Amino acid sequence: MNVNTIKAGAFAPKIQVAAPTNNADAIISAIRKADDAGLDLLCLPELILTGCTCDDLFFQPTLINASASALQRIMRETADCSVITVFGMPIMSGSSLYDCAVVIRNGEIFGVVPNTAANPRYFSNTAPEAISIQGIGRVPVVSSIGCGIIAFAVTFGAESDMNLPFPSIECRLDSSIEILGSANARREKLRAKKKTILYANSGLGESTTDFVYSGHCLIFDNGELAAECKPFENTMAIAQVSETLENSEPASCETEYRGMKKRPFIPEAFSITQAKEIIQILAHGLAHRAAEINAQSFVLGVSGGLDSTLALIVSLEAAKIMGKNAEFVHALSMPCFGTSNRTRENTKKLCAATGVRFETIDLTESVTQHLKEIRHDISNKNVVFENAQARMRTLVLMDIANGEGGLVVGTGDLSESALGFCTYNGDHMSMYGVNGSIPKTLMQAIIKAIADDSSLELREALCDILETPISPELLPGDNGNIVQFTQKLIGSYELNDFFIFHALYKNLSPKSVYELALDAFADDYSPDEIKKWLKSFYKRFFASQFKRSCSPDGPQATVLSLSPRKGLFMPSEAKCAEWIREIEDSPRE
> Could you report the per-residue pLDDT of 475-527, keeping only the tens digit for each?
998 778 888 899 999 999 999 999 999 999 999 999 999 999 999 999 999 99
Does 306 lie in the same domain as 424?
A: yes
**Residue 458 shares a structural domain with residue 338:** yes
443 pLDDT more than 80: yes
Distance CA 11, CA 237 (A): 6
Residue 370 structural domain: 272-584
- As a whole-number percent, the residues of the chain with pLDDT over 70 amount to 94
If asked whether residues 570 and 498 sit together in one domain, one would say yes
For 312, how many CA atoms within 13 A lie in the half-sphere containing its CB?
31
Q: Is residue 262 part of a domain?
A: no
Looking at the structure, tell me whether residues 227 and 311 fall in a common domain: no
User: Is residue 49 a part of any domain in this protein?
Assistant: yes
Q: Which pLDDT belongs to residue 257?
A: 34
State yes or no: pLDDT of 317 exceeds 80. yes
Per the structure, the count of domains in the chain is: 2
The amino acid occupying position 481 is N
Instruction: Based on the fold, state whether residues 20 and 63 are members of the same structural domain.
Output: yes
Please state the φ and ψ torsions of residue 387, each to the nearest 5 degrees: -70, -25
Residues 374 and 311 in one domain: yes
- Judge if 391 and 537 occupy the same domain: yes
Q: Is residue 358 part of a domain?
A: yes
Q: What is the CATH classification number for the domain harbouring 335?
A: 3.40.50.620
Residue 466 lies in a domain: yes
Averaged pLDDT score across all residues of the chain: 93
Give residue-wise pLDDT tens across range 393-435. 999 999 999 999 999 999 999 999 999 999 999 999 999 999 9
pLDDT in tens, 209-259: 999 999 999 999 999 999 999 999 999 999 999 875 444 443 332 333 333
My answer on whether 403 and 485 are in the same domain is yes
367 shares a domain with 277: yes
pLDDT average, residue stretch 434-438: 98
Q: What is the pLDDT of residues 322-375, one digit of tens each?
A: 999 999 999 999 999 999 999 999 999 999 999 999 999 999 999 999 999 999
Count of CA atoms in the C-beta half-sphere (13 A) of 103: 26
- Asked whether residue 260 is domain-assigned, the answer is no
Residues 133 and 16 in one domain: yes
In a domain, 120, yes or no: yes
**Residue 253 resides in a domain:** no
Classify residue 257: in a domain, yes or no.
no
- In this structure, are 163 and 54 located in the same domain? yes
Same domain for 278 and 235: no
Report how far apart, in Å, the C-alpha atoms of 318 and of each of 37, 202, 234, 420 are. 33, 20, 16, 28
CA atoms within 13 Å, Cβ hemisphere of 12: 32
The CATH code of the domain that includes 155 is: 3.60.110.10
Residue 544: pLDDT band (50, 70, 90) is very high
Torsion (CA) 71, 76, 78, 82 in degrees, nearest 10: 100
For residue 176, give the DSSP letter. P
